[in-house]
Structure 1
């Protein structure tokens, strides 16, 4: 049996592809293969599948994925349960990552022995095993954990192969390849030095010096450093018959993080108004406050709040931030990272706002995202500042906005966990309990409105699915004079419920629409088609024909919606996963389907 991970994850047996259904089953397989016969703990597999936000059915789902792999592989490859996780015995299998390491090692040994032809052939063979980005059809969590080291290994192998080719006098034919590689990896000094070498050996010394000057500027502006030994040596060799020449003198640098920019005048206070009547999620609120308070060793630098639409992520984050204001006397920064239409905000512009309130005028701010991020981190590094990033779209958007330093703390909200690493603590919100939902309704509407009709109030929060945003809107309507009975009459018809769950700027449908806008077109189509199902819970096999997909494609499509918190895993049905629509999300999906001219019942027959 052959396994390929250096590209999309693929399995073949005696030349025949072994089909695997779903991103997560590919992820489990890749994680087991990359452990090289060592046990992969359940917790580690969970991180690769769901990061730090696993479902309640985590153990059952892991067992399901492993069972499917066992059925596919039969007796050829064994996967054993060995606490605290699983181990795959791949002794008799061919794995491209193992073969890559073997060829790379032999090639380096040949290069060190100055056997350049042999080295070049071995290293070229190692590179030819790559079929694209490694682990391309695994979860983003496994890819984020593993891809950087594999990409770095590939570039290192590439540098070795080019070194062999340069030694064999192939400098002229290397120039186009190296030009492209330097453009792709502008901070890699080894590749830049090799391009300079190929250029000056091709009698293009002026071009080689231009490459050096470009690298010098990039290293100075992006990293604040000067060229290293390899690049300096290439520069020396380019100049007049290897005569030492003067290196460019570094320009004056801007000192960042000085008291001249921050600390004059009042500290920035960007938080929106506090949610004074905040109710519910008491344990999660206490957890967020505890995790962000103080600077003791072991405390996380960041807390991420995730959950389905309308579960109160933003309200809890704001409440926690206000409770923590006195712990961060040097400022609180805030940004909503999603536009009204659901599109993500540009972190470049957000950093411009942050730098402005920290004392930097627009005309003095760097013109690149990396430059602004570096300046921002320098300004806040040693200061007691809290940064609240609300409605984060993804990790790439948040990365440039994360401060550095032991004194700063960051609080993020998002439907998925946008930034999860060793310095992050995850808090997941679910809908409120019936008791918490009634307490929130009473807090907003006043005790009298609820106590006059307790049964009606209980029915109201049920129709709201105990979602904090929906319950709060009902409370505001009651506080404005609407009766419980009248509001029940508006909410009971499903086709009118989302219309009624709107008050002022608070709008359940608008929140769902923003989340929907962030989906790819295929995921939007999946959501609309699932609305045709007559029941809120469905298995992969039930959804597949409705979506016009096979089982593998259907599971991938459902996982996209689950990751976006628009559906959830309800449990297991036999050996397959069962998913569930939250009631308000299902109503929204049915509206989308009807707006496209598809009657909900039409697709379910």
Structure 2
């Protein structure tokens, strides 16, 4: 058995992934793993699942999660009831947190003993176990308790690894990683001092002194203190140019300026020093995303690949191109880019993308291997020993991405995609892009339209921003329309966007179409799920819960919860936190609800949809009626049952109430 918490919580038995149902079952598993054989009471587990308030009704759900966990992992797991709690013994199973701690402690011991090569090797192995933030998909209650301790252990290991590398004279190799860490943890003086040493030994004395001055300012402004005596002493050594040399002989590695693949092909870019630069043009008026940009840059500098995910139209592609351009200096051997979505919206074959990459790296057309595996092997050979950034845009799933991951440790990959299942890529930092806040949205609109025009109509601008719901694509369409129609006042567009029925018609300009982009999120779903999604969107802008969805659709609670989570994973729904009782609350964003509702109406009334009829001898008036309070709406009968009976449901979104049941 193999258990992992340093990233997404997962379990494997004989190499087979164990299916875990949502964040709560992963929370139960992670909590018992981190208890190290101690018994956890029902009250403690319930608090880690739902918080401390109103706990009395939660115990039965806890029993369900524990029972499912025991069944799915199988007899190799010793999970037993102890009094009023549970205890788990994993025996000889591999637990990545245990492995990390052993390697990190051994590396620290080697460092203290002056065995720098061994320390660097063990600490690098320990850090390679991390696949992103620890406990990434558990409840916030467990994450708040356990994640800070795990993250502190990780940072300490990174600091120890940097010390070992600096002692070996590998200052060039650690500059980028330390730059990212210093930006992420600005008040950790040890990291700042290590960065100063690395820069100084790279011949960048002025930059080393600037790092000290920045740290002094941050400490004064945020904590009201001066740098420590050790950091001040280091500053004086660098200022006078008397910093001691590395403590161990330099260990040479691959010479990045002379890739192993040089000369492999007859006349391509590798043999002639051509550096690939495949990024598309970036948006000159790109706005916002400051925190997310810092997060991605820190991960890339820290030797992590990055997955950028978010709803359709949220600006993932523009963001990835922007970040890639900002860090091009860190990847001297080129920037590779591939859009993994074909023009017709289908996933692109990775064989085609590998052909682009191999040509950019110097392969002639007649030297390209035919099969996917052969191209992937050659691609990894050409990128080994290089520092290249690979941007994989609009990825559909991890199977499409894996053949495109470069070889060697120097290259990094930046992936964008809608579906959160891409997070299964090992060692990847997940960065989610959400809607822009009102200030960011206004600045983006002003960047497209012009600041003077926006400032002249603040109230109308606020109405446009609100109608666009923080979606960068919608804001760009609105701005482009205003820029093209200089005679329009912003108030005119605000008035045209106000009616829900025509809003998406207005948010279309040239090749930009908000409705089409949002509806594309439904394409990977099966027909039944798309139909259920349309029913939920027709209910109106009300919160959805698993019990209410189950009653509305005439399905079981587990089916409803699975449906809602699948729509969250597809970025069609948002999970909005726990309500006053137990259940997560879900919602469509306003534009997504309008797009899905309009698409469902079009399909229901289109010529391709055969007319459905009530069974012979039945009338709409004879159907039984009831209420579903859990969903917060009224309805005639669970929608899926009515659909099976051949009944069409028509909803009035303005009052969120089913008001008519009639024959088609």
Distance 1:383 1:356, change over 3 A: same
Structure-2 change in CA distance of 1:380 and 1:63 (3 Å): farther
Q: Secondary structure at the residue paired with 1:71?
A: helix
Looking at structure 2, the residues matched to 539 and 75 of structure 1 have their Cα atoms a distance apart, in angstroms, of 19
Q: Residue 565 of structure 1 corresponds to which residue in structure 2?
A: 571
TM-score by length of 1: 0.60
Q: CA deviation at 1:504?
A: 2.1
Give the alignment partner of residue 419 of structure 2, picking from 416, 420, 435: 416
Q: Do the aligned partners of residues 452 and 263 (structure 1) sit closer, same or farther apart at CA in structure 2, a change above 3 Å counting?
A: farther
CA distance in 2, matches of 1:341, 1:539: 35
Q: Does 1:590 find its partner at 2:597?
A: yes
After superposition, the CA RMSD in angstroms is 4.1
Q: Secondary structure of 2:539's match?
A: coil
**Post-superposition shift, 1:472?**
1.4
Q: Secondary structure of 1:404's match? A: coil
Indicate whether 1:543 and 2:531 are aligned.
no
Task: State the Cα deviation string for residues 18-37 of structure 1 (Å, max 9, x = none).
Answer: xx9x6555555666788897
Distance change (3 Å), C-alpha of 1:484 and 1:349: same
Contact 2:260 2:384 in 1 (8 A): no
> What is residue 494 of structure 2 aligned with on the other side?
488
Report if aligned partners of 1:570, 1:580 keep a CA contact under 8 Å in 2: yes
Aligned to 1:460: 464
Aligned to 1:325: 328
Q: Which has the higher contact order (CA 8 A, sep 6+)?
A: 1
TM-fit CA distance, 1:361: 2.8
Q: Secondary structure of 1:601's partner?
A: strand
CA drift of 1:363 comes to 3.4
CA distance, structure 1, for counterparts of residue 39 and residue 513 of structure 2: 44
Who is 2:510 aligned against? Answer: 504
Indicate the SS of the match to 1:490: helix
How far does residue 268 in structure 1 lie from its aligned partner after superposition? 1.7
TM-score (norm 2): 0.55
Deviation at 1:600, TM superposition (A): 4.8
Please state how far the C-alpha of 1:382 moved relative to its aligned partner: 1.4
Partner of 1:148: none
- 2:473 corresponds in structure 1 to 469
* Partner of residue 270, structure 1: 278
The answer to whether 1:425 aligns with 2:445 is: no
Do structure 1's residue 601 and structure 2's residue 651 form an aligned pair? yes
Q: How much has 1:452 moved relative to structure 2?
A: 1.6
Residues 514-529 of structure 1 correspond to what in structure 2 (within 5 A)? 514-529=520-535
The answer to whether the Cα contact below 8 Å between 1:536 and 1:582 also exists between their aligned partners in 2 is no
User: Which whole-Å CA distance do the structure 1 matches of 2:51 and 2:412 have between them?
Assistant: 34
Give the superposition deviation at 1:475.
Answer: 1.3
The match for 2:309 is 306
| Aligned counterpart for 2:287 among listed residues 265, 274, 279 | 279
Work out the number of aligned pairs and report it.
415
Contact 2:521 2:571 in 1 (8 A): no
Distance 1:76 1:546 in 2: 25
Structure 2 equivalent of residue 240 of structure 1: none
Cα distance change on mapping 1:445 and 1:258 into 2, 3 Å: same
Cα distance per residue 1:376-416 (max 9 Å; x no partner): 11101112211111111111211111112222111111123
- The 1-side partners of 2:483 and 2:38 are apart by 58
3-state SS in 2 of match to 1:335 = strand
Post-superposition Cα deviations, 1:335-386, rounded to whole Å, max 9, x if no partner, equal 1112234321111221122112222234322232222111111101112211
1:93-492, aligned counterparts within 5 Å? 257-261=261-265, 262-293=270-301, 299-417=302-420, 418-419=422-423, 423-481=427-485, 482-492=488-498
Superposition deviation, residue 8 in structure 1? 11
> How far apart in 2 are the matches of 1:447 and 1:524?
41
Alpha-carbon distance change, 461 to 72 in structure 1, aligned in 2, over 3 angstroms:
closer
**Taking structure 1 as reference, are residues 78 and 357 closer, same or farther at Cα in structure 2, changes over 3 Å only?**
closer
CA distance, structure 1, for counterparts of residue 524 and residue 60 of structure 2: 37
CA contact 1:501–1:508 (8 Å) conserved in 2? yes
Matched with 1:185 is none
The alpha carbon displacement at 1:524 in A equals: 1.5
Q: Distance in 1 between matches of 2:508 and 2:599?
A: 18
1:397–1:59 distance in 2 versus 1, CA, 3 Å: farther
- Between the aligned partners of 1:567 and 1:531, the Cα distance in structure 2 is 10
Query: Structure 1, residues 447-493: CA drift from partner, whole Å, max 9, x if none?
Result: 12211211000110000001111111111111112321221122111
Q: What displacement does 1:306 show?
A: 1.4
The answer on whether the counterparts of 1:366 and 1:372 sit within 8 Å (CA) in structure 2 is yes
Alpha-carbon distance between aligned partners in 2 of 1:384 and 1:347, rounded to the nearest angstrom: 21
Q: Which runs of 5 or more structure 2 residues have no equivalent in the other structure?
A: 1-10, 41-46, 69-77, 94-135, 139-258, 605-647, 660-664
The answer for unaligned runs of 5 or more in structure 1 is: 11-19, 42-57, 80-86, 102-139, 143-254, 294-298
